[in-house]
Every structure is written in structure tokens, then in C-alpha cells.
Structure 1
């Protein structure tokens, strides 16, 4: 696994690993010109949530949805006395989790983290929740207009975040891990036979962008890069691409460089399929 900070003041991603599970989180950035109802901030939130999750999924009697529900409630209890958790402006995070449970490989994805599973002869499956891209379409188009790094661009991003906050964790909007445990019910979750899974990757959107935003790799070639060179190499190649387009002219985006986290899980049900 590897995680590096983007252009923000702190890395808002978090990755946690146990002998049977992996949790990857991507905290939602809060523009400095917008209010925040929590005194602790997003990096604190993702660290606390990740620590709760990796412990909870160790209990194989607890489903991944139930683990997420409990973890959100537990983190609420850590700061409800000092923070305004009834506000729209609270820390939030995307989630991707996997767990080995006997002969099963459990997974859960909430919001736009990406889980890539190599099922061998059955192909590669990319699991991602893109509902956030289906809301505030006009504001999103404006926020993607460059050049990145300018005050005008930052203002458009802040406008987008303001609108998204009003639609967060509501019917017709999109769902993330924040203060409402019911968001866990909206996650994409499932299981496949462990014997079918050859390798897998959990990626924040800062680490998946070479495929889904830049089109520079396929999911198959991304998995091969992770298997042969490791997550650090994937992030390094991502940074090279970002530096080659600093103003977002070729690849419009909200930040010149985003926090990037990748966790690679190999040699599960069988040896990696070298034919890829």
C-alpha cells in the first residue's frame, strides 16, 4: 500500500490493514472559505473511522454494512459534545473495504473510491459508486473549467461543494460516510468466492485517475503495474501525468494534484493470471 498527499494542507486519505481485511478512505475536502461544524477536521475523521472499521470487520459475524454503520455511530460519539454534528458542514469520507471470510471475499464501496477485482477467466470487475457525479451537474461542469490553481477556479469548486453538501446523504442525492449511520445501507456490497479472486486493488480517486480520468491505463494494466512495481510506482506515474498538465487543460479536474492512496492485494484464490 502507499498514500501520498496532493496539493492540500494535509493528506485526507487513510488506509488500514489487518491479516484478513483492508480499508481505504478518502476524506471529502472542505474549502477553507466554507464553514465546518467539526473542530477536528477531515484527516482526524478518516483516521478515526478507519481504525474503527478495521477492528469491526475482524468479526466475521458482522457484515461490512453493519461494520460501517457501527463505525459511523462510534465516531459520532467521539466528538458529538464538541462539534455540531447536525450541520451539513461535517467531515465525510468515501469508503472501500474488502475482507477474507472463510471461502468468501466480501467487499463494500461507498461513493467514488474504486475497487478493482481480477476474477481470472471471468474478467476484471471495477466497482465504484458514481452517484456524486449525477448531482449538481451544472456546478460540476463549471468547477472543472480551468485553469486549476487560480482564485476563480477555487471559487467555482467552493460553489460546487456548497451545493453537494445540501444533497449529501439524502434521497435523490449521493451517499458518503459522515454522521448518518444509515448511509451504510446505501453502499454497494457483496461477496464472491475467494477461489475466483486472483488479485484486487482499492483506490481513492486520486490513484484511479490514470484509468478513469486520464485514460492512460486500463484496469488490467493498472493491476499489472501494481503487481510488478507496487502502489508507489502507480502514484509516481500519476504525479508525472499531473505535472505534464498542471493547469488541467488536457484533463480537467478539481485539483492539480489530489491525495492518492492505493492498496494492492495479491495471490488470493490463485496465482495472478500472467496472461493479462
Structure 2
């Protein structure tokens, strides 16, 4: 699961291809790499970033701050284990049975530029003033991206993979799993409208499309961000759900 980082239209971009291209290329590289169980997920991500760099090094300026970037969540069956990797603020939710829910998310992006982030969350959303505050936040975040003391995402620096959160759990104990972009997890972690258990139940009964539809309904009840302050009224939302390892995915933007 990759979620490309939004780039306000008034800010420069050093890549002529853009974020959607970057996400497609990186996801393809990762799919090819993680099929080898001998390759740790961090190493797969490191190699994937380097592979994409080679695709546009000649045409794009990869050494500046304004380059495409994405969050990453990966899971992989490896024998009796389920390996996982999370980089930045997309969310992995694992139901380990007996009421035990493991959520894995990297929130370092929320710990930097805190003053600008609070300002960017001030409504009403959709106004010129709000968009200007969001642009100022993104400008600051770019300076702190993939630097010690900042936060880490998949972009052009392969060493960002070393900062990913990784781990393994016994595959036999995993009842359900959900991989969520922050736009798909907001009913729980931003709006407080559902618990993680309830979100997994919604995914099991209505699928990713049901979760995203419920999210859009909630957003429409608060279009100006008064109840739930946010950077934009609706965010890109993608969910992948695994139940009994019969995979069901449906992206929505």
C-alpha cells in the first residue's frame, strides 16, 4: 500500500513525471522484490527506491527537497510468519485474536513543525487562507523530510528504508489484516467515529468500498472541518483487507 504525498500546486516539483508516476513505479519494483523471502522488507524498499531513481535520474533533479514521495505499508507471508513494514503515516491493523489488535503507524510527521501543523488544521477548509497555511506547512515539512530529527518517507533517498518500522508475527494468530492510507483510517484515528474492531468489522461485511463510502458520508457532515479539523475536506482513501488470506482490495480516490 503506497500513498503519494500531496504537493500543493503553488509549490515547485523537481520531477517532471509527478507523484502518480513515482507511486506506480515504486509499487511495481516492490512487488517484484518482496516475492523473494530472502530479501528483508527494508532491503526491498531500499532497492525499490534505488531502482526508481535510475528510471529518472537523467531527466529529473533528485537531489532537491521537491521530489515525489509516498508512505509505504507492506505485509508478506514468509513460512509461518507474517512480516510487515510501515513507513510514515499509513496504518497497518492486525487482528491477533482474543480481542488483541495491533496497529502499526509511523507518526513522526506529526511531531515536526507542530506550530505550522496546528495552523494548517485551522478551518474552514477549502478557503484561500486555509490552502496558504497548508502550503506553508508542506514547505516546512519538505525541509525536514528524510533528515535526522525530521520524518521519513519513500522518496529519492534509499536510506529512508532504514527508518521504517518492521516486525513479524505468527501467521497462525492473524485473524484479519487491514492496510489503510490516512484517508481510509480517519474514521478511527481522526474522527473517533469507529474503533479499530468496528473498522475491521465494516471491512469484513461491506469491503473497502463500504469503509470509504462511510468515510465520505462522515466528511460531508462536516465540510468546513469544524468538528474534525483536517488539511482538506476529503483525502485520497485506499484500503486493502485480508480475511483468512482471501484478499479483497478496492482503491478509491
2:221 matches 1:244: yes
Q: 1:40 aligns with which of 8, 11, 17?
A: 17
1:121 and 1:217 map into 2 onto residues whose CA distance is 19
Q: 2: distance between equivalents of 1:243 and 1:81?
A: 44
Confirm or deny that 1:151 pairs with 2:128: yes
**Number of matched pairs:** 246
CA RMSD of aligned residues (A): 1.0
Distance 2:74 2:121 in 1: 29
Counterpart residue number, 2:248: none
Q: Distance in 2 between matches of 1:266 and 1:183?
A: 31
SS across alignment from 2:75: strand
2:162 is the alignment partner of 1:162: no
Separation of aligned partners in 2, 1:47 and 1:134: 28
Q: Which aligned runs of 4 or more in structure 1 are off by greater than 2 angstroms?
A: none
The 3-state SS of whatever aligns with 2:98 is helix
Tell me, in whole angstroms, the C-alpha distance in 1 between the residues paired with 2:180 and 2:28: 18
* Cα distance, 1:121 vs structure 2: 2.0
Alpha-carbon distance, 1:122 to partner: 6.1
Unaligned runs of 5+ in 1: 1-23, 269-276
CA distance in 2, matches of 1:96, 1:54: 12
Q: How does 1:68-79 map to 2 (within 5 A)?
A: 68-79=45-56
Mapping of residues 56-205 of structure 1, within 5 Å = 56-121=33-98, 123-205=100-182
Measured in 2, the distance between the counterparts of 1:261 and 1:55 equals 21
Q: Which runs of 5+ in 2 are unaligned?
A: 246-253
CA positional deviation for 1:36: 0.4
User: What displacement does 1:228 show?
Assistant: 1.0
Q: CA–CA distance in 2 between the matches of 1:150 and 1:76?
A: 36
CA distance in 2, matches of 1:93, 1:131: 14
Aligned-residue offset at 1:54:
1.1
- SS of 2:102 mapped into structure 1: strand
Partner in structure 2 of residue 273 of structure 1: none
TM-score w.r.t. the length of structure 2 is 0.96
> 1: distance between equivalents of 2:127 and 2:24?
30
Mapped to 2, the partners of 1:166 and 1:176 lie a distance apart of 13
C-alpha distance in 1 between matches for 2:52 and 2:134: 28
Q: Deviations over 1:134-158 (max 9, x none)?
A: 0000000000000000110000000
Following the alignment from structure 2 to structure 1, what is the Cα–Cα distance between the partners of residues 43 and 99? 29
CA distance in 1, matches of 2:112, 2:225: 22
Aligned partners of 1:232 and 1:153: how far apart in 2? Answer: 29
TM-score by length of 1: 0.88
With over 3 angstroms needed to count, the CA separation of the structure-2 counterparts of 1:230 and 1:38, relative to structure 1, is same
Query: d(CA) in 2 for partners of 1:222 and 1:186?
Result: 28
1:215 maps to 192
